[in-house]
Copies of this chain bind each other. A is one copy, B any other.
Amino acid sequence: MPQNFQIFPVGVVRKKEEATWIEIFEPYGDALLGLEGFSHIQVLFWFHENDTADRRKTLRVHPRKDKKNPLTGVFATHSPLRPNLIGLTICRIKSIKGRHIEIEDIDAADDTPVVDIKCYIPGSTSRSDVRVPDWV
């Protein structure tokens, strides 16, 4: 297995006053065709502020930075500290104009690099009959 893989920013999160949008970079604009048929997208982004060798070695955290929550492996959390700094969130699309996807909101900061967009398909990307631990 290769030691590592390369990923590239395909866009960026933009927040200005009341508006929030994802700007897809010019080389990837053609990948948006048909996205207007969906109400929601999954946005994969990069926790770029944590991209140091040291931070990427963090394997356990107190979820939500709350010491009252039990020390937990990062694979059992959505912590922004993890070996591969991929963040994942679901956003509602407000409009698509050219390479700008206006969204209702996103739990990622302005200027966050976006690495992938996937359509949100219920059933494929959701489950029922789910169990979670107490801290959730």
Is A77's beta carbon under 8 Å from chain B? yes
A11 to chain B, nearest CB (A): 9
What number of A residues sit within 8 Å (CB to CB) of B? 70
User: In the complex, what residue of chain B is closest to A129 when comparing beta carbons?
Assistant: B39
Within 8 A of B (CB), among A10-52: 10, 12, 24, 28, 30-35, 37-42, 44, 46, 48, 51
Are B119 and A132 in contact, CB atoms less than 8 angstroms apart? yes
Indicate whether A37 sits within 8 Å of B126 (C-beta atoms), given known contacts A1-B12, A7-B5: no
A72's closest neighbor in chain B, by CB?
B34
Taking CB atoms, residues of chain B closer than 8 Å to A24 are 75
Interfacial chain B residues near A121, Cβ < 8 Å: 78, 132, 136
Known pairs A2-B48, A83-B8; A31 contacts B75 (CB<8 A): yes
Task: Indicate if the CB atoms of A35 and B4 lie closer than 8 Å.
Answer: no
Asked whether A31 and B82 contact (CB < 8 A) given A1-B113, A131-B38, the answer is yes
Residues of B within 8 A of A124 (CB): 78
Q: Do A76 and B35 have beta carbons less than 8 Å apart?
A: yes
